[in-house]
Amino acid sequence: MSAGIRLAGERDAGAIASIYAPYCEASQVSFETLAPSAEEIARRIESVTERWPWLVLEDSETVAGYAYAGRHRERAAYGWAVDTAVYVSEAHRRRGVGRALYTALFAVLRQQGYFKACAGITMPNPASVALHEALGFKVIGVYRRIGFKLGAWHDVAWYQADVQPEAPNPPAPRPLNAVIDSPAWKEAIARGLAHYVEQR
């Protein structure tokens, strides 16, 4: 069985759409209510990876999960912050996929020069809270009953983590293609994958 973490591409869109769909259609985890098509996911991957990492963990040619980063807020001073998300297929849970993906994602974000990561988690979601806390995120506030879905109002807890220690005059983050396939990129991927290989 061969496992790897790599940048997501168009060929992963169908698998990612399948992993994501139940959280749109049948749970409050995502605030999307219509599951995006594979074509729409492919469009999102292309758009995200113009600047930020979108990683998949593949085992035996099956996408086990994915994690990506994206813009936190538009205004310039937010430029060193990202929002992150992670989804793991039901069949691969509790085997270190989420930890592996986030570890690799953070290492890539460090190379690019990002400093803060934020994640909004619809409550309750004990697995996601535990994963984020295990990776160093801390809760910073809760939007109360901010979203209405499936007949109920839902809280969203916002979590934040330091990607790396603050720098006094941080340069603008580097584009993703400035770090892809560098020795540091390969090291980031290997560091993440080790969490999966150890646990599976």
Ligand X SMILES: CC(C)(COP(=O)(O)OP(=O)(O)OC[C@H]1O[C@@H](n2cnc3c(N)ncnc32)[C@H](O)[C@@H]1OP(=O)(O)O)[C@@H](O)C(=O)NCCC(=O)NCCS
Contacts to ligand X by CB under 6 A: 23, 29, 85-88, 93-99, 119, 121, 125-128, 130-131, 134
Q: In the 8-state DSSP scheme, what is residue 29?
A: S
CB of 116 to ligand X, least distance (A): 17
CB of 144 to ligand X, least distance (A): 17
Instruction: Tell me the Ramachandran region of residue 103: left when phi exceeds 0, alpha when psi lies from -120 to 50, beta otherwise.
Output: alpha
Tokens linked to 170? 């941080």
DSSP 105-153: HHHHHHHHT--EEEEEEESS-HHHHHHHHHTT-EEEEEEEEEEEETTEE
Beta carbons of 195 and 65 less than 8 angstroms apart: no
Instruction: Scan for tokens 């758009």, then name that residue.
Output: 47
Closest chain position to ligand X (CB): 98
Q: Which is nearer to ligand X, 22 or 79 (CB)?
A: 22
d(CA 49, CA 53): 6
Q: Which is nearer to ligand X, 29 or 179 (CB)?
A: 29
Q: Which is nearer to ligand X, 65 or 113 (CB)?
A: 65
Please name the residue ranges forming H helices in 38-96: 38-48
CB of 64 to ligand X, least distance (A): 8
Which residues, 6+ apart, have CB-to-CB distance to 94 below 8 Å? none
CB of 11 to ligand X, least distance (A): 21
CB of 85 to ligand X, least distance (A): 6
CB of 14 to ligand X, least distance (A): 18
